[in-house]
């Protein structure tokens, strides 16, 4: 039975800029990296994968793990779960660091979402689990 999303991926050409945003700005611990290919971050009980699309499209070499090539063009989207009481402090932190908030609104059923762009242009949403009926 499926119990959740184990990992999600976005794509970025500049992995150092991604590292600065996800670790430096959002405090996600880096858990793995291969220079020029990817950097991975712990995100609660999930993992956020940031790949360089061109590098991840290369077939695995003979001594590499048999992970099929993949990659995407254009901006992707990821929603990071944040307790609703932490959304205001997060918004303040983002704005103080010069990260533009693209949208900050309440859905018709009440939950709030905050959207920003990472350095690669990916849409990063912050919302409590109540958005999908997952919190009390």
Q: Which helix (H) or strand (E) holds 93?
A: helix 87-96
Question: Whole-angstrom Cα distance, residue 48 to residue 124?
Answer: 11
Q: Which fold has domain 7-59+75-132?
A: 2,3-Dihydroxybiphenyl 1,2-Dioxygenase; domain 1 (3.10.180)
The whole-angstrom separation of Cα 26 and Cα 19 is 10
Question: Above 60 in pLDDT, residue 51?
Answer: yes
pLDDT band for position 64 (50/70/90)? Answer: confident
Burial class (CB in 10 A: 0-12, 13-18, 19+), 1: exposed
First-last CA distance in the chain = 22
pLDDT category at 4 given cuts 50, 70, 90 is confident
pTM of the model: 0.92
């Amino acid at each position: 039975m499926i119990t959740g999303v184990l990992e999600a991926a976005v794509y970025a050409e500049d992995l150092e800029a991604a590292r600065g945003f996800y670790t430096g700005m959002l405090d996600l611990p880096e858990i793995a990296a291969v220079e020029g290919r990817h950097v991975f971050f712990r995100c609660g009980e999930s993992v956020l994968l940031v790949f360089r699309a061109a590098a991840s499209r290369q077939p695995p070499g003979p001594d590499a793990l048999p992970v099929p090539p993949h990659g995407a063009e254009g901006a992707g989207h990821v929603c990071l779960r944040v307790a609703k009481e932490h959304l205001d402090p997060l918004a303040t932190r983002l704005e103080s660091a010069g990260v533009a908030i693209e949208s900050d609104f309440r859905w018709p059923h009440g939950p709030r979402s905050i959207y920003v762009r990472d350095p690669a242009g990916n849409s990063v949403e912050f919302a409590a689990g109540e958005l999908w009926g997952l919190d009390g």
